[in-house]
Amino acid sequence: MKPQTSQRHAQTTNWRLFLVLAVAALALSGCSSIPPPPNWKMNAVSLLEHAQQRWLEGDSKAAELALLKMRQEIALTGRIDLLARAELAACATHIASLDFSPCVGFDTYAADATASDQDYARFLAADWTGLQIKSLPVHYANLLTNKDDANANQAAREIKDPLPRLIAAALLFRNGRVEPATISTAIETASERGWRRPLLTWLEVQRKHAQSRDDHAAMAALQRRIDLILGPANAP
């Protein structure tokens, strides 16, 4: 990895930033000279990832309960900046399902957030004017720099991590720049992971596109997939 890329990766503001995974890995491998990470770090990251997973699967109640416990763990430290970052990560997960509601959790603590997290919040709000690439998660670099829609969509589709891939597609959708191939990629991504909530949302987007083309066969096929996901009681 090139030094510049490594530096940018260290600045990535996703949900794992506040957990020093390298320290945890060394501790678990038996390096007695390095103390294990505090329980709150392990608990907070586990709860946040659990909340994200439950939200994507469509279990809002379990997701909110996990977030509540996560907030309690981070509150033990008095680190408002870390809580702001965690709230931002939770909001990013909502965006993957095309939920562009204001990120109230982050807004509450925005004054104490780091400059990088504030930039990431702007990125998630599709306010990209003047954003510094180095302050954003590294996997969004090509998305931000490509002004051409085709190249930006390709950059989104080529993101390796599934959740950032969905978030990138969602932001292109929000800006009216998303292409059919990117919608298909979002559907494939959510389907492969078993993420019910974004899968239903993106299938509906594709169904409306088919409707605009009067493609009744495609509409019917997509509706069958939607009905299957919703359950036998709603299937034809």
pLDDT score for 30: 47
161 band by pLDDT with thresholds 50, 70 and 90: very high
Q: What percent of the chain has a predicted confidence (pLDDT) above 90?
A: 73
Q: Give the span between the Cα atoms of 212 and 219, in whole angstroms.
A: 10
pLDDT score for 223: 96
Helix (H) or strand (E) holding 152: helix 149-157
Cα–Cα distances in angstroms (integers) from residue 54 to residues 51, 71, 81, 176, in the given order? 5, 16, 24, 28
Q: Give the span between the Cα atoms of 115 and 45, in whole angstroms.
A: 21
The structure's pTM equals 0.83
- Tens-digit pLDDT profile for residues 17-46: 444 333 333 334 344 466 788 899 999 999
pLDDT score for 147: 87
Residue 10 has pLDDT above 60, yes or no: no
Residues 15 and 89 sit within 8 Å (Cβ to Cβ) = yes
Closest by alpha carbon to 119, among 105, 100, 136, 103?
Answer: 136
- Tens-digit pLDDT profile for residues 74-130: 999 999 999 999 999 999 999 999 999 999 999 999 999 999 999 999 999 999 888
Q: Summarize the confidence of residues 133-159 as an average pLDDT.
A: 92
15 band by pLDDT with thresholds 50, 70 and 90: very low
More confident residue, 6 or 160: 160
Q: What is the dihedral of CA 13, 16, 22, 26, to 10 degrees?
A: 170
